[in-house]
Structures are given as structure tokens and as C-alpha cells.
Structure 1
Amino acid sequence: MSAKVSLAKRPNFLKAQLLAPFSARYRARLTLRGEPEALLAIATHIVLTRDHRLAFVKNSKAGCTTVAQVLYACDTGATFQGRVHDAKKQIAGHLHVRECLDALRDPKVYAFSFVRDPLARAVSAFQDFVLDRTNPGTRHHLPRLREFGWRPDTSEERQFDVFLDYVAASFAESELWTDPHFRLQKHNLALGTVQYRRICRLENYAAEMTRVLQESGVWRPELERLLTMRTNVSRARKYSPTEAQAARVRAIYAADYEAFDY
């Protein structure tokens, strides 16, 4: 039997219809019925400020935790202590999918996201899931990675090869429903379906985020200190791919290199 990958879950609307009378989460999910699949894949990965001025589409492993902290400060004037993606004072997640998608269609809402060099992003996901094993989703992938030949006592070079095998197999199974931490960024942004005011580059984070805040009209001087903070950063020692591995990443993520001109 061939090795299997762990994919993100597609919405099950039959299940949602059955459970909607008993669950606010499933009632919210049911409102997505009929939406394009590209939007279904990002519906729970949108952060909307409470004044509906900013809508941020998360692109995992491209600074989304850091950006979410800034948006939390825009909403509350404070820094969130803990995992900011669990913050209850922002409009985000499963209960607000309808409101968030509607905001992306509203020309008055400033919709934006960040992208990252695909090689740096792939290495970051590898460190997060395989070397550091700190991401909450690691438990879903490690058993599957073992089926692909991953072992923690082998060289980091060998482990990265296995990780790339796993990513390629995930894409072959379903490009759109691959885990968003290593899914193509063009799918994380629903590129071509969502109309963005700005798609920013993580490599120029402070300048790009300042521009977003200024153009959307929410800039306040006290937000400036947050633009030098980075959260959810992997360990200081970064894995350096071989030339062959870098070439393989360029092949796997060719669509992102083209879409975002990296």
C-alpha cells in the first residue's frame, strides 16, 4: 500500500446540515455552501478587524502570526499574551466565515496578505514540523512522514529530502487541500478570486506593514513598536538546503515563483 498524506479537511455540507441545529460552528459552515472551492480553502484563515477596515488573508509560514498581533493591537490597543490565533476579540475563524468572506468582497475593506520567498518558506515549514516539531499540526504529519521514510536520527539533509517527498505527494493528492503551511501560496491567497488592495512581501515586512496601516487609515504612532517584533520564529540555527534541494523546491513551487515574481 502506498504511503498516505494528511490533507486539510474539505467542508462536509451534509454533515453541517445535520449538525447545524445543535452547533453554531456548523451553522456558520453551512453558509459557505455554493462558494467557490478556492474560497472554501481560505474561509477559516481570514482575520477581520472589528471595525471592518482591514481583512488579512493568512498565508501560513509567511508572517501571519506577526501580522495578527498587529491587527489585535489595532482592535484592542494591547498585545495579545498567548497564541494570537486564538484571540477572541478579533473576527476570525470558524464562527465568522460568512462575515469574513463578505468583507473580502466589500471594496471598502482593505484586503491584504503577505507572501514569502518559496525556498525560505519551505525551510521554515520543515523546521517547524520536522526539526523543531513545535507546530500543533505536527501530530497529524509525523506518522505519515514515517511512512515516507522519515526518521529523527537521520541527517537533516535526508529529513528535508523526505519532507519534500511528502510535499510533492500532498500536491499530487490535492494541491488545493494540502496543509496550508506548505500549500502553494497562490492557493493560500485564493489568487485570482480575491481582489487585494496589496500583496506584501515578508522580506520587507516593516515597510510593507506600515504602508498597509497608512493606506487603510488605521495608522497610529503607538503601532510602530510592533513593527520591529517578530513572533513564532523558528530556532536561530537554520537548515541550509543543498543546491539540488533548492532546485527541487523551485520545481515544486514553480507556480509561486511565477505568480509572485520571486
Structure 2
Amino acid sequence: MGFPGTWMTESESVVYRVVPKCACSTIGQIMFYSDHGTFYDGDVHDATEGMHKWAMEESQPIIEANVHEHKSYAFTAVRNPYTRVLSSFFDKICGIQRNGKRYRGNLVPLLIQKYGIEVGAPEDDFAFDQIRSFRRFLLFARDTIRFRRPMDPDIHWTSMSGHISTFIHNGGSYDHIFHIENFNEGMQVVLDNIKTRKKVNLEKIPRFNESEGHGPKRAHPVEAYFDDLSMHLVREIYKRDFDLFKYDYENPGNKMPTAEIDLDEVHKKLGP
């Protein structure tokens, strides 16, 4: 199976396991900058040169050799499951994508038809009942993950532990996993442990939120979207994420982690 979702700098200074909706655009741009002294011109997910990615066939043997020998510092980042699944909804379901179209073509019409979800449109300034639609989306997300219907689950709302575990299962191990809620502190630990071709000053790095501005703005505080049933669904889908990455299930309004991540526990519970 190899190392899907793994990026590495050209200089092999650092290896990163991408977790969707966890600041991966910003992290990828920092990696690119650390080698080249400039940011990638465009969405770093589209970059086909200047860094190694598992999705590029020619990079695979280089990444594989590096990870199996643990030649470079390896890390990933996580996010509160409540804010992550909300972000997936607003970006992937409600938002217009980089190509000017809806995400995955027929996905939104399917959700409108089968789950009664509304998403609004740029023409009506995305006017719709966000809370009702989001809760219906959660049912859909749960159905894709638990029952693989009406489609297979999407990488943007599958659990973080699922993404992170493939790296361990296939022979990798992490040196660091940080919470994006404490982004600068977490990313600084990575930079302090690697040698970069170009100096990176995190205080001056912009945030690359490629999904921003292409869909509706969140109209309510996070906790307003989650009633008892929604919290139950989130618990059902992301229980392992809350437990392993130390987030507060009881209070959707508290996005901050409750403790440090125990790397040994992550390797033990997500390993083969």
C-alpha cells in the first residue's frame, strides 16, 4: 500500500503525512518555502514539482526508502473533530471549488435529493438554513463511513486516525504530531528539529486557506451546529480522534486540546 498522502521536501529534510482539513495547505507551502525560498505559485496540492509526493509515481521509491529507514523527521498535524467536520461541510459541500464547479460533480445533487440538504448559491449569497443542512450532512457522513453508502467515505471527513494510521501500518513512525489550534508552537518544533535550505520565520508566514471565499461564511458559533443527536453522531464517527488527539467531546464550543498527544499511545493504538 505504501505511503498515501505523504509529502516530502526535495532536500529530504522532512516528511509530512497530510491530513485533510488540518492546515495542510499552509504546511505544504512552508515545506516548499524551506527548500526554495519562495512559495508555490498556486495551491500547493496542485504542485507536481519542487517537492516529493506519494501521488507522483517517480517520488514513491524515494519516499519509501526514506520512511522505511526513518532518514528524516516525520510529522503530521490534527484538528478538533467538531471544527474539522464543519469545515468539510462548508468547503466541500457548500463551496464552489477551485475549478469553478461543485465538489465531485454529482455529490451535491445526491445530497439534496437523498438527505434534503440545502447549500445555497453565490447568486443568493448562500442563503440557507446552515444548522439544519449541516446536521443532515452529518447523517450522510456517518452513512458513508459506517455503511459505505450512498458512496465510499471522502478523505475530507474520514477520521484523522484513519489517515495517520496508514503511515504507521506501512512501516513509518512519527517524531511529532501537533494540534493546529497551536499552529506556530507545533510547527516550530518541526523546524527546530530539521535543517532547511532556507530560513523560515513562522511569524511572517501567511495562512494558506485555499477554500476561503468560495462558499458561505459560518453564520453561528461552532456549538450551535451540534445538538445531542449531532454530538452522538460525531462521537460515533470520531471517538478515536477525540481520545487519541486529546479533544473535548463534551463541549463543541471548546476547540482547544485538553492535553498533549502521547506519541507512544498513537503508535501503539494505530499500529499493526
Q: 2:134 aligns with which of 160, 171, 195?
A: 160
Taking structure 2 as the reference length, the TM-score comes to 0.72
What residue number does 1:186 align with?
Answer: 161
Q: 2:191 aligns with which of 213, 236, 253?
A: 213
Does 2:227 match 1:243?
yes
Q: CA 1:109–1:140 in structure 2 vs 1: closer, same or farther (change >3 Å)?
A: farther
How far off its partner does 1:110 sit? Answer: 0.9
1:86-165 map, 5 Å: 86-87=46-47, 88-92=49-53, 93-95=55-57, 96-134=59-97, 137-146=103-112, 147-152=114-119, 154-165=128-139
Equivalent residue letter for 2:62: E
Taking structure 1 as the reference length, the TM-score comes to 0.75
What residue number does 2:251 align with?
Answer: none
- Segment of structure 1 superposing worse, 234-243 or 123-132: 234-243
Q: Determine the C-alpha separation between the residues in 1 that align with 2:98 and 2:234.
A: 21
Q: Determine the C-alpha separation between the residues in 1 that align with 2:21 and 2:209.
A: 11
Q: Determine the C-alpha separation between the residues in 1 that align with 2:205 and 2:231.
A: 30
Q: Is the 8 A contact 1:66 1:232 kept in 2?
A: no
Q: Determine the C-alpha separation between the residues in 1 that align with 2:154 and 2:68.
A: 25
Report the 3-state secondary structure (helix = DSSP H, G, I; strand = E; otherwise coil) of the residue aligned with 2:178.
Answer: strand
Q: 1:73 aligns with which of 33, 37, 57?
A: 33
How far off its partner does 1:91 sit? Answer: 0.8
What residue number does 2:13 align with?
Answer: 53
Q: 1:195 aligns with which of 173, 176, 189?
A: 173
Does 2:237 match 1:252?
yes
Equivalent residue letter for 2:138: L
Q: Determine the C-alpha separation between the residues in 2 that align with 1:226 and 1:155.
A: 37
Tell me, which stretches of 5 or more residues in structure 1 are unaligned? 1-34
Q: CA 1:226–1:247 in structure 2 vs 1: closer, same or farther (change >3 Å)?
A: farther
Q: What are the Cα deviations for residues 137-191 of structure 1, in whole angstroms up to 9, with x where unaligned?
A: 442521332223223355112211221111111112359x621111110111126
How far off its partner does 1:85 sit? Answer: 1.2
Report the 3-state secondary structure (helix = DSSP H, G, I; strand = E; otherwise coil) of the residue aligned with 2:31.
Answer: helix
Q: What are the Cα deviations for residues 59-107 of structure 1, in whole angstroms up to 9, with x where unaligned?
A: 0000001100000101211011211112221111232233323332222
Q: Determine the C-alpha separation between the residues in 2 that align with 1:157 and 1:205.
A: 28
Q: Is the 8 A contact 2:43 2:210 kept in 1?
A: no
- Segment of structure 1 superposing worse, 243-252 or 56-65: 243-252
How far off its partner does 1:226 sit? Answer: 4.6
Q: Is the 8 A contact 1:167 1:182 kept in 2?
A: yes
How far off its partner does 1:109 sit? Answer: 1.2
Report the 3-state secondary structure (helix = DSSP H, G, I; strand = E; otherwise coil) of the residue aligned with 1:199.
Answer: strand
Q: CA 1:213–1:145 in structure 2 vs 1: closer, same or farther (change >3 Å)?
A: same
- Superposed CA RMSD: 2.5
Q: Determine the C-alpha separation between the residues in 1 that align with 2:175 and 2:19.
A: 16
Q: Determine the C-alpha separation between the residues in 2 that align with 1:97 and 1:253.
A: 30
- Segment of structure 1 superposing worse, 89-98 or 234-243: 234-243
Equivalent residue letter for 1:251: E
Q: Is the 8 A contact 2:34 2:200 kept in 1?
A: no
Report the 3-state secondary structure (helix = DSSP H, G, I; strand = E; otherwise coil) of the residue aligned with 2:202.
Answer: helix
- Segment of structure 1 superposing worse, 72-81 or 219-228: 219-228
Report the 3-state secondary structure (helix = DSSP H, G, I; strand = E; otherwise coil) of the residue aligned with 2:15.
Answer: strand
